[in-house]
Structure 1
Amino acid sequence: MPRISEKGKLMPASPIRKLVPYAEEAKKRGTHVIHLNIGQPDIKTPAVALDAVRNHAIEVLAYSMTEGSETYRKKISDYYAKNQIQVEAQDIIVTTGGSEALSFAMGTIMDSEDEIIIPEPFYANYNGFATASGVKVVPIVSSIENNFGLPPISDFEKLISPKTKAILICNPGNPTGYLYSKAEIQQLAGLAKKHNLFLIADEVYREFAYDGREHYSILQEPGLEEYAIMVDSVSKRYSMCGARIGCLVSKNKEVIQTALKFAQARLSPPTFAQIASEAALETPQSYFDAVITEYVERRNILVSELQKIEGVKVAVPQGAFYCVAELPISNSDDFAQWLLEKFEMDGATVMVAPAAGFYATPRLGKNQIRIAYVLEKEELVKAVRILGAALQAYNE
């Protein structure tokens, strides 16, 4: 019998999606499953984006440019300018989601067995992208005790080896909701320049910054032009996860020219999705103001309700729409599966994402879960009350 690759065996299963079969079985039993496990916003996609596709005049659905349409890239650069990020259309490659942008970034700057340092917990698919590229993830632990803030720079320096090529951050963070300050970005910038490393920032949640805080991009930092690679996406910003449009942005010309070769190998990003994404750039600020207000209210309710449960510790998110909660249990994978297989309250249960899959260090996060607060407030309250009752039953 032919054998699959070692790389294939090493590819990690998604901690977010691996429980889906259990959720589907629960639904077949008639149990209402409240999804706290996936970052699919329930906010409506801007009508201007959907209308642009409905009203198109395309007669031949042709390939687009490999790097994305020029008009779209120019409008993206205008959008960034409004956010104090000065880049040109030629600094941008449109990708099939932020995921492809990250894969292009790793392929562009890293060879097999090279190392990338990532503060953990981190977006679980970083492990998958690294495995697919033959890259070694070197994790550096951030702690719930300080809200998952940036670890000391001295801890980063201890991990740098001749194989280290880059540092990767998610800002604001998935799964933590942590928003790096300008001072923290400057510390990372100094480290990148000192050790001649690339600094990659996944900034797909840029708009989601709370409590008067402002997002500071690595592309705003002077002197970082040759080191900075930014990954972006329309998925969360405009509630357009299904569009699968993102981009890779860098002022390093060699990075863009090399990434373009990877882009050419997959031909082009999808045309209709680019049309929708280009139109979405016309979304008025009032849309974002309303969305931010809604997410802050959801966050406040979620954190408040979680803090009422004995033994639960929760990090307070400063951005994005996720939080990590530490539970009075030893194995959140087992608990998450048990919730779907064995527990319900008033005909409902909850689906959470076990946090161990967001760590690269074995055994870390085993008593933590990630919660996505992308549901209406009443449903969030109900979900946390079910969670509280479930913890009591599980521990008994």
Structure 2
Amino acid sequence: MTTPINPRMAHTFPPPVMEARRWLDGVTFTDDNPLINVSQAAPVAPPPEPLRKAIADFALNQPEAHLYGPVLGLPELRAEVAHQWSLAYGGDIRPDHVAITSGCNQAFAAAISTLAGQGDEVILPTPWYFNHKMWLDMQGVTTVPLATGSDLMPDPEAAEKLITGKTKAIALVTPNNPGGVEYLGALLGQFMALCRKHNLALIVDETYRDFDGRSGRPHALFSDPDWADTLIHLYSFSKAFRLTGHRVGAVIADEGRLTEIEKFLDTVAICPNQLGQYAALWGLRNLTNWLAGERLEILDRRAAMEEGFPSLNGWRLLGCGAYFAYAEHPFAESSADLAKRLVRDTAVLMLPGTMFMPEDDPAGARQMRIAFANIDRSGINTLFQRLSNL
């Protein structure tokens, strides 16, 4: 290749899930020993049949579903999110606080684009969600890692020591990807106070909030009447309603920031997927009970992971929740090498901790992420059998 490459793109690591899929090339799996894929945190099943029928109806009978729509999303969907989120969090969220995006990754990219540029800094707890790190690298924003220790919980006091004049935001994911841990509401409140004290944005990505193991409100951030001066909330409809291919997410922030976000969205996508937005709106209005059942199934799989881990000699479970178990392995080799050996020797595809950690952090070499949302209890038992035989 002789034409120029943006050095920031060239220095950004390849998409981890796509890289892991390439490990399957040339490997043969059998009916007796099929591949167990616990690498990607996304539903592989289509939306439930009633939602698929609704999408087909929208496609046939809603002409505007095939046209450009408002850059910040369908007004009806924005209003429904504002209404349901206000009830769920006990806060005052208006439709003009809500923007619909092409997935939650775009919500993060849009938010960061309004906050930080070349040479600025954003604090991410480690292990981090790799797409957050990738976007910061592409933008020339320095990622400042906040080590979380064996409980995977970020420490506000440790975070404060990392804040400099270049820091623009702290970004948290709860329930956490990749760690699975659920941040306590009090902890999020401490981070809110910290960010307000230093005039930073607090980004809280709650992509997996529908699968939180706790009942009631996960936090009280929105009950603060001045939440919009600090908080930026991100969400994804992909996990709740299995709309991964339709790319529908949301960002909730103050209306002034959404004015800036609108510039970003208009430039990169013009508007979110229209059919996906109608589907998300239909899901919010009609699939509450179905989603409650999905949550219970995921919680049962989480329980199966927690019950099975003691059978693995030398493995240590660090965190488990939402779609994820995050663990230390007992082998001498790096997790990057172990992940490839798992494919060859056990027909298991999972991601190594090195994909979620800074290169100079040795902890990543000892850690693995297991995305268990797409395997049932029987599949989880088979997974443990294969890992035990490794």
1:232-252 Cα offsets, whole Å, 9 max, x none, are 1101122221121001111x2
2:370 is paired with a residue whose SS is: strand
Match of residue 288 from structure 1:
291
Residue pairs, 1:343-358, within 5 angstroms: 343-344=345-346, 349-358=347-356
2:379 counterpart of 1:389: no
For structure 2, the 5+ residue unaligned runs are none
Q: How many residues align?
A: 380
1:196 is displaced (CA, Å) by 0.8
1:150 aligns with 2:151: no
CA contact (8 A) 2:353 2:364 kept: yes
More helix, by proportion: 2
Q: CA deviation at 1:292?
A: 2.1
Q: C-alpha separation between the residues in 2 aligned to 1:257 and 1:354?
A: 39
How far off its partner does 1:49 sit? 2.6
Is the contact between residue 207 and residue 239 of structure 2 (CA under 8 Å) also seen in structure 1? Answer: yes
Matched, 1:236 2:239: yes
Distance 2:93 2:100 in 1: 14
TM-score, normalisation: structure 2: 0.92
Identity across the alignment (%): 23
Letter paired with 1:4? I
Contact 1:26 / 1:33 at 8 angstroms: preserved in 2?
A: no
Q: 2:68 aligns with which of 63, 66, 88?
A: 63
Give the one of 133, 142, 148 matched to 1:127: 133
**Cα 1:34/1:143, change in 2 over 3 Å:** same
How far is the alpha carbon of 1:315 from its aligned partner?
2.2
Name the amino acid aligned to 1:309. L
2:77 alignment partner in structure 1: 72
Give the Cα separation in 2 of the matches to 1:217 and 1:189: 10
Give the AA of the match of 2:83.
D
Q: Is the 8 A contact 2:206 2:234 kept in 1?
A: yes
Tell me if structure 1 keeps the 8 A contact 2:42–2:244.
yes
How far apart, CA to CA, are the structure 2 residues paired with 1:118 and 1:38? 21
**Deviation (angstroms), 1:281:** 0.7
State how far apart, in whole Å, the 2-side matches of 1:295 and 1:29 are.
27
Distance 1:43 1:79, change over 3 A: farther
- State the secondary structure of the residue aligned to 1:366: helix
Q: Is the 8 A contact 1:359 1:365 kept in 2?
A: yes
Indicate if the aligned counterparts of 2:16 and 2:355 stay in contact, CA closer than 8 A.
yes
Structure 2 match to 1:26? 27
- Partner residue, 2:371: 372
Looking at structure 1, the residues matched to 300 and 86 of structure 2 have their Cα atoms a distance apart, in angstroms, of 29
- The Cα of 1:123 is off from its aligned counterpart by 1.0
User: Is this contact kept in 2: 1:48–1:283, CA < 8 A?
Assistant: no
Instruction: Work out the CA distance in 2 between the residues paired with 1:227 and 1:68.
Output: 23
- Number of the residue aligned with 1:200: 203
Distance in 2 (alpha carbons) for counterparts of 1:188 and 1:389: 43
Residues 338-391 of structure 1: CA deviation (Å, up to 9, x unaligned): 1223x14xxxx111111111123523311110001111110111012111212x
Q: Match of 1:394?
A: none
1:37 corresponding residue in structure 2:
39
Q: Distance in 2 between matches of 1:36 and 1:11?
A: 24
Segments of structure 1 that go 5 or more residues without pairing to the other structure are 391-396
Q: Is the 8 A contact 2:299 2:322 kept in 1?
A: no
In the superposition, relative to structure 1, how do residues 37 and 289 fare at CA in structure 2: closer, same or farther (>3 Å)? same
Work out the CA distance in 2 between the residues paired with 1:97 and 1:220.
Answer: 26
Alpha-carbon distance, 1:3 to partner: 3.1
Report the TM-score when normalising by structure 1.
0.91
Question: C-alpha distance in 2, partners of 1:233/1:2?
Answer: 37
Q: Residue 143 of structure 1: SS of its match in structure 2?
A: coil
Cα root mean square deviation, aligned: 1.9
1:79-228 residue pairs with structure 2 within 5 A? Answer: 79-84=84-89, 85-144=91-150, 146=151, 148-151=152-155, 153-212=156-215, 214-216=217-219, 218-228=221-231
Q: What SS does the aligned partner of 1:370 have? A: strand
